[in-house]
């Protein structure tokens, strides 16, 4: 079954200046280079780099990656105030693939092996009643609810401070991987359906570069693990 990888890269980051392309762990192409290297190892139909960033376009045009499809995204869909559902609706217009995997350059520790496991889990669980896949990081720690003056996820109620393993298990959406059929993108204007399979990845693998500190931490971990 055909599957496309959608990689959105928008210029103009305010929290991490030039985060897509600034040198990262001795990679002159930065986070974009890291991500394209990882994605190039996947058995997918195409890798769509959708960007309005001139530096990203310049880098993509000079590398040799047969499955890479460059989409010069309209500026109207690359603004800080662009509605996510508008971008989601745009994706099926630039690919004919039946299935779409959405990921980001800001997840540099999600390797090709993790993507492969996610894709396998996605197709396997389509046969088990799920309609999509979303990567998550398990969370089982104390969450304080100021309004009730209690731990929000305490399911015992017999102890005010139970063991962390006895707290309700929650899941942080780490935004590293979303997989769904194109019908969900067009019909629901969403990256997941009503019954997503929760694909768990670790805190380290899920590191997301959203702030300057995140960039430095992710770079240090990447160098430790992969350089």
Sign of CA dihedral 49, 12, 111, 206: negative
Mean pLDDT score, 178-204: 98
Measured at the alpha carbon of residue 177, what is the angle toward residues 174 and 180, in degrees to the nearest 5? 130
- Whole-angstrom Cα distance, residue 39 to residue 179? 15
Q: Which residue has the tokens 């993507």?
A: 115
Mean pLDDT score, 67-85: 94
Measured at the alpha carbon of residue 217, what is the angle toward residues 212 and 219, in degrees to the nearest 5? 95
pLDDT at site 1: 80
The 10s digit of each residue's pLDDT in 107-136 is 999 999 999 999 999 999 999 999 999 999
The 10s digit of each residue's pLDDT in 15-27 is 898 999 999 999 9
Mean pLDDT score, 44-66: 95
Alpha-helical regions (H) of 63-181: 84-90, 112-126
The 10s digit of each residue's pLDDT in 87-103 is 999 999 999 999 999 99
Task: Please name each of the domains of the chain with its CATH number.
Answer: 3-134+173-197 (3.90.550.10)
Q: Which residue has the tokens 């310049």?
A: 58
Q: List residues bridging with 71 in a β-sheet.
A: 50
């Amino acid at each position: 079954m055909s599957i496309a990888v959608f990689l959105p890269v928008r210029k103009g980051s305010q929290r991490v200046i030039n985060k897509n392309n600034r040198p990262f762990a001795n990679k002159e192409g930065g986070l974009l280079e890291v991500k394209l290297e990882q994605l190039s190892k996947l058995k997918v139909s195409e890798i769509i780099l959708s960007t309005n960033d001139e530096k990203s376009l310049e880098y993509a045009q000079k590398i040799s990656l047969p499955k890479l499809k460059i989409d010069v995204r309209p500026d109207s869909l690359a603004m800080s105030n662009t509605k996510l559902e508008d971008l989601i609706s745009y994706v099926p217009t630039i690919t004919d693939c039946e299935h779409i995997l959405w990921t980001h350059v800001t997840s540099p520790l999600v390797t090709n092996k993790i993507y492969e496991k996610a894709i396998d889990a996605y197709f396997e669980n389509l046969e088990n009643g799920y309609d999509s896949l979303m990567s998550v990081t398990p969370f089982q720690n104390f969450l304080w609810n100021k309004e009730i003056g209690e731990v929000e996820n305490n399911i015992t109620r017999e102890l005010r401070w139970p063991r962390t393993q006895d707290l309700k298990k929650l899941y942080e959406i780490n935004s590293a991987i979303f997989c769904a059929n194109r019908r969900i993108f067009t019909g629901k204007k969403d990256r997941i359906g009503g019954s997503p399979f929760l694909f768990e990845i670790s805190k380290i693998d899920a590191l997301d570069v959203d702030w300057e500190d995140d960039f430095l931490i992710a770079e240090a971990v990447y160098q430790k693990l992969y350089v």
